[in-house]
Structure 1
Amino acid sequence: MTRLTGSALRVTVFVGENDTWHHKPLYSEIVHRAHRAGLAGASVFRGIEGFGASSLIHTSRLLSLSEDLPVAVVIVDTEERVRDFLPQLDELVSEGLVILDDCEVIRYVGREGESGGADGKGETRS
């Protein structure tokens, strides 16, 4: 896994929650491939409302349209590593949107000697 601080490239992949790859959620396949590729990090965010190329608004407020909410997969790593990963997205994403953004990463880590993390009072949890 890459440890990253400084300049990076962020790729955001917008797909539908019901999009699949070989009977598996597409967003999950993207995250697992990013992990196997050794990219620095990936997260999936589920939208509560949105529309895409179909112009049909999907929202969590209406039961009839809440079945395919928007999902954003965000991946961050060096520009070279992200660009090397793009052919995999070409293979996976048949409908969706991929956005590339330059960004700067500030990596926060726990204090040395801590195990289990801080409890908000500066004390270590076990």
Structure 2
Amino acid sequence: MTRLTGSALRVTILIGESDTWHHKPLYTEIVHRAHTAGLAAASVFRGIEGFGGSSPIHTARLLSLSEDLPIAVVIVDTEDRVRAFLPQLDELVTKGLVILDDCEVIRYAARENPGRKGEKSL
């Protein structure tokens, strides 16, 4: 696991829930590749409403259930490591939006609790 504190680069990939890579969800492939590349963190967020450049508004409202809700995959690591990962996104994301943001990371670690035996801080 990468321990990261200080300046970092966040990449946000905006895609659709129905986007696939070799018959599995595209967001799953992105997260697995980020993990394999040893990047510090990746999370997937499912939106309740949104639209892309050439598509209608997709929503999770009760009367108009969409099967293609917006998905945001967020990955954070050092700038060098994120930029080294970008060619994989070029291969995977054929429609969508990739956003790069400078950010600051503060990593919190668990503290040792003197009341419990055997627990250690990270």
Normalised to the residue count of structure 1, the TM-score between the two structures is 0.87
Distance (whole Å) between structure 2 residues aligned to residue 55 and residue 18 of structure 1:
13
The residue identity in structure 2 corresponding to 1:59 is: T
Distance (whole Å) between structure 2 residues aligned to residue 99 and residue 75 of structure 1:
10
Unaligned residue ranges in structure 1 (runs of 5+): 116-126
Q: What is the CA deviation profile of residues 24-80 of structure 1, one whole-angstrom value per residue up to 9, with x for unaligned ones?
A: 100000000000000000000000000011240000005545110000000000000
Shift of residue 112, structure 1, vs aligned partner: 2.8
What is the root-mean-square deviation in Å for CA atoms of aligned residues?
1.9
Distance (whole Å) between structure 1 residues aligned to residue 49 and residue 64 of structure 2:
13
Q: Which residue of 1 aligns with 2:17?
A: 17
Q: Does 1:66 find its partner at 2:66?
A: yes
Q: Which residue of 1 aligns with 2:92?
A: 92
Q: 1:66 to 1:106 in 2, by over 3 A?
A: same
- Map residues 71-82 of structure 1 onto 2, 5 A cutoff: 71-82=71-82
Q: Secondary structure at the match of 2:74?
A: strand
Q: 1:98 to 1:39 in 2, by over 3 A?
A: same
4+ aligned runs moved over 2 Å, structure 1:
62-65, 112-115
Q: Which residue of 1 aligns with 2:35?
A: 35
Q: What percent of counterpart residues are identical? A: 83
The residue identity in structure 2 corresponding to 1:107 is: R
Unaligned residue ranges in structure 2 (runs of 5+): none
The residue identity in structure 2 corresponding to 1:19 is: D
Q: Which residue of 2 aligns with 1:110?
A: 110
The residue identity in structure 2 corresponding to 1:26 is: L
Distance (whole Å) between structure 2 residues aligned to residue 63 and residue 33 of structure 1:
36
